[in-house]
């Protein structure tokens, strides 16, 4: 789950025993099993997916869903889907649907990396399926701003009053979404995505859903369990979101998660001779040294090695640190980037870290993931409309997370001006009646703190918590064979671990 990102005037980035048959096999579903049970939706559940080859062993298709499930005869949304057929058709269990999170992440692109993000065992037994949620990527898209306008809001500062600029940029972004996104803006919430997911389940020919969602994808899975508990075969919710939080609580706790992740990064850095934050110093001293570096380049333009590239705003330094905390695989690049800034005034590597998080494909283009991040979050989370509430939350966050706290909180400000009203209270998602649901939490997860996994496992009546003691965002296929084996066994054989299961990174 990405933290929200308000404007370049701030340093934040514009951003969840055995159950059944021993072999996991299922009876072939009848037409009545597959339909949603609502006559008004029979047309949608009765579609056929026209699969076409789309390269590298994958097949692609599209299907339609109602824009508004309360008015299914109205406008429609097209959903794009792809799949990698099971490598062992004779042992096929069914489909395993993936979602990478975001909000705004492309399930099509995630599934296209199936050979990297799922095990060979899962690829043998399941069709690996991805879909772009409504508004995202190849599905009916939602767009708020041009690339130039996005740069102005998220990467550029006019050098004036910081708070006034933040409020103006946040309001401008919300107004642009109202003007350009159309009626879809009010129908991209997670409840709608969960309903789309059930239509997809039926069209795939599965009586029950097997699903693995990462980060924000855990929210989709939890919502699915609430709406369709009897249709959930196996749900893996990795890097869990806590559905019971409001927008400012999410920001405060997420900032604490990034601060915890920074401490883990700093602890590995300071033992190295070339650590840009100091060798042999304490983690607290490393934090102070980073703050000093940020302040030393504040207001300056950093060099850009890209041919024809514009100078880089100095605020990229802290933004790049936050981006790198998603994965220890980025920590070497972070060390190099901070060294470049300190010794050469060059921000190229730090900008690359930020661009990857924003899905800023080049200097001229973005995917629409940032627009969708806000469109979904502003619909999903209760958010105050008064800036006083943000000021109080920012103070609390800064005390708990000095590096990132205030900026992550202010990143939610566009939702205060959002044209579509969000909920007054968070949803209560218990998944009552669902089969056991596996919730995976990583102890030093940056973007989805471990406490969220504990909370979601407790809120779901059949939730079972699997703990990974480690670094980075999410746990599955992160180099921990223990986690991978437990998840695979659950998905294939429907066996869940004991509540006390902890994997230690090996």
How many angstroms separate the CA atoms of 125 and 203, rounded? 19
Catalogue the long-range contacts made by 454-457 (C-beta closer than 8 Å, 24 or more residues apart): 455/240, 455/242, 455/244, 456/16, 456/218, 456/222, 456/237, 456/240, 456/241, 456/242, 456/243, 457/240
Judge whether 445 counts as a catalytic residue: yes
Q: At residue 363, does pLDDT exceed 60?
A: no
pLDDT one-digit tens code per residue, 180-222: 999 999 999 999 999 999 999 999 999 999 999 999 999 999 9
pLDDT at 153: 82
CB–CB of 185/419 below 8 Å?
yes
Lowest pLDDT segment from 3-12, 142-151, 178-187, 303-312: 3-12
Q: For residue 63, what pLDDT band results from cuts at 50, 70 and 90?
A: very high
The mean per-residue pLDDT over the stretch 241-245 comes to 98
* Residue of 211, 231, 251 whose CA lies nearest to 410: 251
The mean per-residue pLDDT over the stretch 242-270 comes to 98
**What Cα–Cα distance (Å) separates residue 401 from each residue in 251, 466, 494?**
11, 26, 39
pLDDT at 13: 36
Q: For residue 17, what pLDDT band results from cuts at 50, 70 and 90?
A: very low
Domain boundaries along the sequence of the chain: 208-215+230-244+426-506
Task: Please tell me whether residue 209 adopts helix, strand or coil conformation.
Answer: strand
The mean per-residue pLDDT over the stretch 279-305 comes to 96
Q: For residue 51, what pLDDT band results from cuts at 50, 70 and 90?
A: very high
Q: At residue 165, does pLDDT exceed 80?
A: yes
Lowest pLDDT segment from 125-129, 232-236, 327-331, 353-357: 353-357
Catalytic residue among 473, 484, 488, 493: 473
Torsions phi, psi for 501 (to 5 deg): -70, 125
pLDDT at 314: 86
pLDDT one-digit tens code per residue, 21-41: 333 444 444 444 456 668 999
The mean per-residue pLDDT over the stretch 97-117 comes to 97
Lowest pLDDT segment from 144-158, 435-449, 457-471: 144-158
Lowest pLDDT segment from 2-16, 238-252, 350-364: 2-16
pLDDT at 92: 99
Task: Please tell me whether residue 251 adopts helix, strand or coil conformation.
Answer: helix
pLDDT at 113: 98
Catalytic residue among 191, 445, 471, 480: 445
pLDDT at 150: 83
* Residue 500 CB coordination number (10 Å): 8
pLDDT at 18: 30
pLDDT at 161: 81
The mean per-residue pLDDT over the stretch 455-480 comes to 97
pLDDT at 74: 98
List strand residue ranges (DSSP E) for 230-383, in order: 232-238, 301-302, 312-313
Listing from the earlier edge strand, what are the strands of the sheet with 76-84?
Answer: 52-53, 59-66, 76-84, 126-131, 94-99, 209-214, 232-238, 437-444, 463-471, 502-503
Q: For residue 155, what pLDDT band results from cuts at 50, 70 and 90?
A: low
Cβ-proximal residues to 258 (8 Å cutoff; 6+ apart), any chain: 3, 322, 325, 401, 403, 404, 408, 446, 447
3-state helix, strand, coil in the chain (%, to 5): 45, 15, 40
* Residue of 11, 421, 6 whose CA lies nearest to 173: 6
Q: For residue 361, what pLDDT band results from cuts at 50, 70 and 90?
A: low
Catalytic residue among 139, 215, 314, 412: 215
Cβ-proximal residues to 404 (8 Å cutoff; 6+ apart), any chain: 11, 12, 255, 258, 259, 262, 318, 322
Judge whether 215 counts as a catalytic residue: yes
Cβ-proximal residues to 247 (8 Å cutoff; 6+ apart), any chain: 377, 381, 382, 383, 384, 412, 415, 422
Q: For residue 498, what pLDDT band results from cuts at 50, 70 and 90?
A: very high
pTM: 0.91
């Amino acid at each position: 789950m990405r933290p929200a990102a308000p404007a370049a005037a701030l340093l934040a980035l514009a951003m969840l025993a055995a159950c059944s048959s021993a072999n996991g096999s299922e009876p072939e579903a009848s037409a009545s099993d597959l339909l949603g049970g609502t006559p008004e939706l029979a047309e949608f559940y009765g579609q056929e997916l026209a699969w076409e080859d789309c390269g590298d062993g994958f097949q692609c298709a599209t299907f339609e869903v109602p824009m508004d499930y309360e008015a299914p005869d109205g406008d429609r949304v097209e959903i794009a889907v792809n799949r990698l057929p099971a490598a062992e058709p004779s042992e096929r269990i069914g489909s395993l649907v993936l979602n990478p999170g975001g909000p705004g992440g492309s399930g099509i692109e995630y599934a296209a990396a199936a050979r990297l993000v799922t095990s060979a065992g899962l690829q043998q037994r399941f069709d690996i399926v991805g879909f772009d949620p409504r508004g995202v990527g190849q599905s009916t898209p939602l767009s708020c701003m041009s690339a130039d306008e996005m740069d102005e809001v998220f990467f550029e500062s006019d050098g004036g009053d910081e708070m006034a600029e933040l409020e103006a940029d946040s309001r401008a972004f919300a107004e642009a979404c109202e003007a350009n996104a159309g009626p879809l803006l009010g129908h991209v919430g997670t409840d709608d995505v969960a309903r789309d997911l059930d239509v997809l389940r039926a069209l795939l020919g599965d009586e029950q859903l097997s699903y693995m969602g990462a980060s924000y994808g855990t929210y989709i899975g939890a919502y699915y369990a609430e709406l369709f508990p009897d249709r959930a075969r196996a749900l893996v919710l990795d890097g869990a979101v806590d559905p019971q939080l409001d927008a400012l609580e999410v920001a405060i706790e997420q900032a604490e998660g990034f601060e915890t992740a920074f401490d883990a990064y700093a602890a590995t850095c300071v033992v190295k001779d070339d650590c840009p934050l100091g060798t042999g110093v304490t983690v607290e001293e490393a934090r102070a040294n980073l703050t000093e570096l940020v302040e030393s380049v504040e207001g300056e333009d950093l060099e850009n090695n890209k041919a024809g590239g514009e100078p880089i705003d100095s605020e990229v330094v802290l933004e790049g640190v936050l981006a790198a905390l998603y994965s220890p695989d980025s920590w070497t690049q972070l060390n190099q980037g901070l060294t470049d800034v300190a010794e050469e005034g060059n921000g190229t590597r730090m900008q690359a870290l930020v661009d990857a998080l924003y899905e800023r494909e080049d200097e001229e283009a973005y995917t629409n993931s940032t627009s969708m991040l806000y469109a979904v979050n502003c619909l999903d989370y209760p958010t105050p409309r008064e800036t006083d509430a943000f000021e109080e939350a920012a103070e609390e966050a800064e005390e708990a997370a000095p590096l990132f706290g205030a900026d992550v909180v202010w990143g939610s400000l566009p939702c205060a001006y959002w044209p579509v009203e969000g909920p007054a209270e968070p949803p209560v998602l218990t998944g009552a009646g669902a089969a056991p649901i596996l919730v995976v939490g990583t102890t030093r997860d940056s973007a989805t703190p471990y406490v969220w996994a504990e909370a979601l496992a407790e809120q779901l009546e059949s939730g079972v918590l699997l703990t990974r003691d480690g670094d980075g965002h999410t746990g599955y296929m992160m180099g921990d064979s223990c986690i991978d084996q437990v998840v695979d066994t659950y998905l294939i054989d429907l066996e869940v671990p004991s509540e006390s299961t902890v994997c230690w990174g090996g």
